[in-house]
Each structure stands twice: as C-alpha cells, then as structure tokens.
Amino acid sequence: MNARIEPDILVTTRSKNQLTKNKLFFAGVLATWLGCASPVPTPAQEQRRSNWTSADAPCAKFDDLRKPVLGNIGVRIDVTEPWADAFRRALSFWNTVLAADFHEESNLKACTVRIVNGGPGVLNRAIVARSQITEWADFRGKIAVSPGAAKELSGSEMYGVAVHELGHMLGLKHNASIHSVMYFLNVDGTEVLDSKDILDLSTHHKLRPAILPTVFLPISQPKDVAKITGKATVAAGPPSPGI
C-alpha cells in the first residue's frame, strides 16, 4: 500500500496493475497535495486556513468541540451502513479515551458533530472521507464520507478512518509513527494512539485518568480498552470483518 496524507482528507485509488487499495490523506484541497504535500505539517504550514463547506445544516453545538472538558457530545450520523457502524465504534473508542460522553443525537439543536455524505463539492471519486478542523475558519463540526467507498473498504478500514477523522476534529495532527492511527499512510483499524498522540490530545481536552500514563492504546479492541478506563462501550468487540 502507498499513501500520502495531510489533515482532513482520506483518498483511495486503485492501480491498474494491483488490487491493493492506496489510501491518501491530505489537507485542504487536492492541489495542495499535488504541489508539495507534507505528511507532518511544518510550523509554516500551520497558519490558519479555511475549512471546506457544504449545504448540510450544522449541529447547533459544534463549538463545544473547542472546550477542554468536552462533556456531552451528541453526534448526528446521517450516513447509512456500514459507515454508520464504523462511526458508532469510533465513538465508543473515543469515550474510553476522553472525559466525554459521545453518543448519537438526532436533534440538530442538541448535537455537536454531524456525519454526512460528501457531495461533489467536498469529495470526488478518489476521496473517501474528510473532516473539518477545529482550528480553521468556517468550522461547523462536520465529517463527510463517500458512500461509494463502502464497496471498496473493509469494515476494519472504515473503522480506522472514522477514528482518524474524529481524531483530527479533536485536535490531533498527523503522526510520523507507522503504528499510530494518525499516521499519514495506510489506516486499517489495527493502529494505536501512541504516547505522542495521547500527549497532544491532553493539550486540547481532558483525558480519563488511566489514559495519561499509557504508552500506546490499541484502537482495534474498544471492549478491552474499557477494562482500563471502566467506561462501558457501545460496540461489542473489535471492528467487524471486511465487507
């Protein structure tokens, strides 16, 4: 697998000579990646940029994602299976990490994050998923996914993508470690939050007490992670098998 990533997009391509899916994340727009993409942004690249926008109404409480103590975070999942299941599993995982209660919320006046199908103005044939970035202008708490990608990705890969995109929304940037779910190449659901991810996350939000001393936290076993934190999870076990 080959892939290149920057913060808010996940792309898949298929070579004519191989069946391996190549996943690429990159920030902002495709032209940025074609020009001089950097997997781990330099300080000069950290200047404030604008998020992508869509006609989908945002959740009323999207600004809550900027709070150090997140508390109740309602997520409106407006995508069908198997993406919906992938994000439910991802919410369960993040509940074990953060001092927060991520839960599904159908009311736009009460939710914080909205998961939507990405239109042609946000995604194209190659782009799988894209999150808005809290530090960028026009942030409205949205994550867009490609319905067609469900035919190309396994359940585990979609779960990894969901954890990765929510990680960006929580303030995480790309990680140079190949073992991190925030790595800028392939994400297949077997990765971890490593010590750098955990430390970076702690500068944005309050973590559960048992998480801070953790060296690495596998994302593939939300149920097992719950044993560490004492937080029950919605998902029963690891991501579902590939579809």
Q: What is the CATH number of the domain that holds 123?
A: 3.40.390.10
Torsions phi, psi for 76 (to 5 deg): -95, 115
Helix (H, G, I), strand (E, B) or coil at 147: helix
In a domain? residue 83: yes
In a domain? residue 3: no
Contacts of 166 (CB under 8 A, 6+ apart): 87, 90, 91, 94, 113, 131, 143
In a domain? residue 147: yes
Instruction: Please tell me whether the overall predicted TM-score, pTM, comes out greater than 0.85 for this model.
Output: no
In a domain? residue 242: no
Torsions phi, psi for 205 (to 5 deg): -140, 155
In a domain? residue 41: no
Angle between helices 155-169 and 83-97 (to 10 degrees): 50
- One digit per residue, the tens of pLDDT, for the chain of length 243 reads 333 334 565 544 433 233 333 444 433 322 222 222 345 555 555 556 899 999 999 999 999 999 999 999 999 999 999 999 999 999 999 999 999 999 999 999 999 999 999 988 898 777 789 999 999 999 999 999 999 998 889 999 999 999 999 999 999 999 999 999 998 877 899 999 999 999 999 999 999 999 988 888 999 854 444 443 333 333 222 322 222
Quote the number of domains for the chain.
1
